[in-house]
A and B are shown apart, each in its own frame.
Chain A
Amino acid sequence: DQQVKQNSPSLSVQEGRISILNCDYTNSMFDYFLWYKKYPAEGPTFLISISSIKDKNEDGRFTVFLNKSAKHLSLHIVPSQPGDSAVYFCAASYSGAGSYQLTFGKGTKLSVIP
């Protein structure tokens, strides 16, 4: 049973437009959500996160929105740039886990077309 779902394996967006990457989760105990970005032949790097006590977190061109009632979060990239082309992983964790553990989605490959 996949607790974190990214239902779109790929997404293509024109440069300068908005990219919206979606993520759904099923475990209501998750209280922290993170987005990671992964280029080919590199490990994932942290991008942005949001706590369940918030519904929005913004960092430059990147904004993450959280809808707890729908168990849904999304990452918005505005404006999209060719360098944003990468695989984006949504991850979730909960503070009651004791030891740290992230649960990842399968990733969405974003292609930004110049």
Chain B
Amino acid sequence: SAVISQKPSRDICQRGTSLTIQCQVDSQVTMMFWYRQQPGQSLTLIATANQGSEATYESGFVIDKFPISRPNLTFSTLTVSNMSPEDSSIYLCSVEVARRLYSEAFFGQGTRLTVV
């Protein structure tokens, strides 16, 4: 398994500001993933972060809005930039652990962001 420490667990931010969310894993992993869960919606993949290269963003998400850092194999940050109330969501980081037949995802505890 993988133990993921994500912080902050929650924050209330003013619109127009930025928040950086940190994700620390207890083991080295190749890929880390950032998800968003808006109220009443699915967990939606924002981007995949590989160490040593730029993150790969899913449709609808751009680097200027959600810059990601991946300085080493155990750590990543996601920044929510120039926030608006529509960015109020739970943000989750995740890692993949390969099993024999499939890959299992482990998640951080999430960051509940409220933008006012």
Interface residues of chain A, those whose CB is within 8 Å of chain B, are: 2, 4, 9, 32, 34, 36, 41-46, 49, 51, 89, 91, 93, 99-107
Task: Write the nearest CB–CB distance from B58 to chain A, whole angstroms.
Answer: 9
Contact B103 A42 (CB under 8 A): no
Task: Write the nearest CB–CB distance from A83 to chain B, whole angstroms.
Answer: 18
**What chain B residues lie within 8 Å of A44 (beta carbons)?**
43, 92, 105, 107
**What chain B residues lie within 8 Å of A104 (beta carbons)?**
42-44
Interface residues of chain B, those whose CB is within 8 Å of chain A, are: 4, 6, 9, 31, 33, 40-45, 48, 92, 94, 96, 101-110, 112
* Residue of A4, A42, A100 touching B31 (CB-CB under 8 A): A100
* Residue of B4, B6, B102, B103 touching A51 (CB-CB under 8 A): B102
For residue B112, which residue of chain A has the nearest CB? A41
Count of A-B contacts judged by CB separation below 8 Å: 64
* Residue of A45, A100, A105, A106 touching B107 (CB-CB under 8 A): A45
* Residue of B41, B43, B96, B109 touching A100 (CB-CB under 8 A): B96
Give the docked Cα–Cα distance between A100 and B45 (Å).
Answer: 11
Known contacts: A43-B6, A44-B107. The answer to whether A99 contacts B31 by CB under 8 A is yes
Contact B101 A43 (CB under 8 A): no
Contact A41 B105 (CB under 8 A): no
For residue B43, which residue of chain A has the nearest CB? A104
Known contacts: A100-B96, A107-B42. The answer to whether A43 contacts B110 by CB under 8 A is yes
* Residue of B42, B45, B108 touching A101 (CB-CB under 8 A): B45
Contact A43 B4 (CB under 8 A): yes
Give the docked Cα–Cα distance between A44 and B92 (Å).
Answer: 9
Contact B42 A105 (CB under 8 A): yes
A sample of 18 more A-B contacts (CB under 8 A), given A32-B102, A99-B48, A100-B33, is: A34-B102, A34-B104, A36-B105, A43-B4, A43-B94, A43-B106, A43-B110, A45-B107, A46-B104, A46-B105, A49-B102, A51-B102, A89-B43, A93-B102, A99-B31, A100-B103, A102-B45, A104-B42
Most interface-central of B9, B43, B109, B110 (chain A CB within 10 A): B43
